[in-house]
Structure 1
Amino acid sequence: MGERDFVDADKLILRGLQFFGFHGVKTEEKKLGQKFLVDVDAWLDLSVSGQTDSIRDTISYTDIYRIAKEVVEGPSKNLLESVAHLIANTTLLQFPQISAIRVKIGKPHVAVPGPLEYLGVEII
């Protein structure tokens, strides 16, 4: 499924979440830790909550935020791919009304020879 499959669909949007974690292949990353940037898009039907104005008819942003925080600040992983998949899978299992999810994770502090905003992964 590509992004174009969801263009006209409703979604919850979480942008610029910042957490400190110990993920990476290098020993220094696991020992010292670093900041991670997380964006999440969760596709689900928001028409009922739009009409009822009730939190019971949607998913709270804070619930998805909590999952991302627990994963990033939780046990160390070697790859960002693993971190992103764990956030996505945990969210989908806890909230079956979500039809698709996109998780983007960036590492702004990486050892590369040149300036950059961040390096990362995005999974759908």
Structure 2
Amino acid sequence: MDKIYLKGMEFYGYHGVFSEENTLGQPFIVDLTMKANLKPAAKDDDLEKSVNYADAYQAVKKAVEENTFDLVETVAETIAEIILNTFSIVYEATVFVKKPTPPIAGHYEYVGIEITRSRS
């Protein structure tokens, strides 16, 4: 199957189990991979038969910036649910949410969650 990628989308959100995370917020980076049959879109050169990248970006932005969750797992699950409910052409979504500045002592690039969800 074919894939559509949106990589390195950056948002500011208020997710975390610590109260300061919900108050101060922090950056989140999201990678989204959508599996779909893109042959009809390519054959007819028709955006209506594909996924508009701008619409997918806005869907992810809404999930990250307009909600507050304790778990990054819930952020990822919400993104996958919105993508599958919004874009009928997408049959599987993989969402990788990175939290580069969690309040954890130590040296690391980020912590993150990756989930894959598909239509039943």
Same-fold call, TM cutoff 0.5: yes
What SS class does the counterpart of residue 90 from structure 2 fall into? coil
5+ residue gaps, structure 1, are 1-8
| Runs of 4 or more above 3 Å deviation | none
Deviates more, 1:15-24 or 1:109-118: 109-118
Kindly indicate whether residue 58 of structure 2 is the aligned counterpart of residue 62 of structure 1: no
Kindly indicate whether residue 58 of structure 2 is the aligned counterpart of residue 28 of structure 1: no
Total equivalences in the alignment: 116
What SS class does the counterpart of residue 102 from structure 1 fall into? strand
Amino acid at match of 2:89: Q
Kindly indicate whether residue 93 of structure 2 is the aligned counterpart of residue 101 of structure 1: yes
Amino acid at match of 1:120: G
Question: What residue number does 1:43 align with?
Answer: 35
How many Å separate the matches in 1 of 2:104 and 2:17?
Answer: 14
Amino acid at match of 2:18: K
Amino acid at match of 2:25: G
Kindly indicate whether residue 85 of structure 2 is the aligned counterpart of residue 87 of structure 1: no
Whether contact under 8 Å (2:16, 2:22) holds in the other structure is yes
How many Å separate the matches in 2 of 1:43 and 1:92?
Answer: 10
Write the deviation string for residues 36-55 of structure 1: whole angstroms up to 9, x where unpaired: 00000000001111122221
**How far has the Cα of 1:62 moved from its partner?**
1.1
How many Å separate the matches in 2 of 1:112 and 1:94?
Answer: 35
RMSD between aligned residues: 0.9
How many Å separate the matches in 1 of 2:84 and 2:6?
Answer: 15
TM-score (norm 1): 0.90
